[in-house]
Amino acid sequence: MTAVAAKLTIKDVTVTFQRRRGGSVVAVDSLDLMVRDKEFVCIVGPSGCGKSTLLRIIAGLTRPTTGEVVLDGIQVSGPGADRGMVFQSYTLFPWLTVEGNVEFGPRLSGQPPELCTRIAKRYIDLVGLSGFEHSYPKELSGGMMQRAAIARALANDPEILLMDEPFGALDAQTRTLMQELLLSVWEQTHKTVLFVTHDIEEAVLLADRVYVMTARPGRIKREIKVSLPRPRTVGVLDSEEFLRFRREVQQSIREESLKVLSAKEEGG
């Protein structure tokens, strides 16, 4: 596609789930996509299109029925610290403080405790949670828990950060703040990010490129390059350009939904 080599490639991935009563459902159908180094890529699609499944496959948590995932030239065969993940649900370990959570990865990799604490502090500062190092998750708000979860994933210095609708459970105001925070974190770390969402605005605001997925079975329908200037803030939401990109993505998803609808009418 371009001169820049792909960091992550997904080749012809298909996922079929066996139904209990026999028969099977194709969740993801011969899907191809790629993410370049230091790129922020969003996947949008209607709910149930298999975008979370796709992310779990990349994380190594789910095995594809066929096809392969290649990160830095090596085929993914299971979960690993090179692919950090932030989930939609709150997944901080409740028995660890914020610091203990963020240190979890570095400690597993056997780094000296003082270094782990230093790394933890850096990322806790980065997500704006300084002062809460010794708080337990139950003492934090939803937004704070997700910030800590982002810090925890980043503290492991993964090759790619996978985010599965991380702000989906938050209220609208908090979500905007979190998007701003993520933009600023990305400006400072330039991690490669693959971000799944059903929120079109969120996708256009954050991404360099947006992949639009079809309804089940999930395929890539379109790829849209978002050439909005960086660094971005939520101020961009009102710009003419932003609205143009948003309309483009929206149109693409709408076509898809209409197709699904008419297919259903014909079939029914």
Partner 1 sequence: MPDKNLQANTHRPAPRASTRPRSRIVSALDDALRPHEPVSRQTYLSGVILSTAVIAFVWIVLSYGGIVPPLFLPSPSDVVRAAVALFREGSLLIHARASLSVIVTGWALAVVAAVPLGILMGTLKFVEALVEPVVDFVRYLPVSAMIPLLILYIGIGTAEKVAVIFIGTFFQLVLLVADVSANVSKDLLDSAYTLGAKRGTVFSRVLVPATLPGVMDNLRITMGWAWTYLIVAELVASDRGLGYLILDSMRGLYTDRIFVGLFVIGLLGLGFDIIFKRLHRILLPWSPKI
- Binding residue for partner 1 (CB under 8 A) from 146, 156, 179, 252? 156
Tell me, by CB under 8 A, how many residues bind partner 1: 29
- Cα dihedral 254, 213, 206, 243 in deg (nearest 10): -20
Question: CB-wise, 162 or 200, nearer to partner 1?
Answer: 162
Q: Does 152 bind partner 1 (CB under 8 A)?
A: yes
For residue 17, the minimal CB distance to partner 1 (Å) is: 16
Question: CB-wise, 96 or 237, nearer to partner 1?
Answer: 96
Q: Does 191 bind partner 1 (CB under 8 A)?
A: no
Question: CB-wise, 86 or 205, nearer to partner 1?
Answer: 86
- Binding residue for partner 1 (CB under 8 A) from 60, 67, 128, 142? 60
Whole-angstrom CA distances from 243 to 173, 175, 179, 213, 226 are 20, 19, 17, 20, 11
User: Quick one: angle between helices 113-126 and 142-155, nearest 10?
Assistant: 130
Q: Does 109 bind partner 1 (CB under 8 A)?
A: yes
Q: Does 187 bind partner 1 (CB under 8 A)?
A: no
Q: Which residues are near partner 1 by CB under 8 A?
A: 56, 59-61, 79-81, 83-85, 87, 89, 91, 93-96, 104-105, 108-109, 136-138, 149, 152-153, 156, 162
